[in-house]
Amino acid sequence: MMKLRALRTRVGISVAAVALSGAGLGLATATPASATYAGYCNGWVDDEISNSGFHAKLPAYNGNVNCQMYKGASHNGVKALQITLNRCYGRSLTEDGVFGDRTRTALIYAQGQEKIGTDGGYGTDTRTNLEWAYQYSGNGRWSCF
């Protein structure tokens, strides 16, 4: 979570500078993290960086981002991961929501880039250390934070 929080701080400052507005730009988290998993990811949540217009979809279990998933999963949470792996890590995955061999290989690559365990599974360590693909609602531009 530290990298994601630091990221939001950097993004919040950058967005404020771009918008020439430093007032009222607080930082928000998608959901509070806990020491245990909420469950097996079964969807996604929309994460906006504090009214900045930058939105990302993060894998979640019933709205809680502290979830896990592995090869064989099939849902929108996998699609959210595939979008990030394509946009932020240069992979060429079909964004179909199916966690197959190619998604696992792409995740191992991203985990290696972030110097975390390369087990090909998704959990808290992977979520907090990956750069996530955020899209700006104003013009559709993608950025990785």
Average the pLDDT over 73-92 and give the result. 97
Mean pLDDT of 99-125: 97
For residues 97 and 94, what is the distance between their CA atoms, to the nearest angstrom?
Answer: 8
Instruction: Please tell me the distance from the alpha carbon of residue 41 to that of residue 37, in angstroms, as a whole number.
Output: 10
| 81 within 8 A of 98, measured Cβ to Cβ | no
CA distances from 46 to 2, 52, 58, 123 (A): 19, 13, 6, 18
Residue 22 has pLDDT above 60, yes or no: no
CB neighbourhood size of 24 (10 A): 8
Angle among Cα 145, 83, 35 to the nearest 5 degrees reads 65
Contact 66, 77 (CB under 8 A): no
Q: What letter does residue 40 receive in the DSSP assignment?
A: E
Q: Domain ranges for the chain, please list them.
A: 2-144
> Which helix H or strand E contains 7, and what residues bound it?
helix 2-19
pLDDT at 43: 96
User: How far, in Å, CA of 56 to CA of 46, rounded?
Assistant: 6
**CATH label, 2-144, candidates 3.30.70.990, 3.20.20.80, 1.10.101.10, 3.40.50.1360:** 1.10.101.10
Mean pLDDT of 5-24: 38
Written as one letter, the residue type at 88 is C
What is the predicted pLDDT for the residue at 138? 85
The two three-digit tokens of residue 11, written as one number: 């993004």
Number of Cβ within a 10 Å radius of residue 61: 20
pLDDT in tens, 64-80: 999 999 999 999 999 99
The pLDDT of residue 3: 52
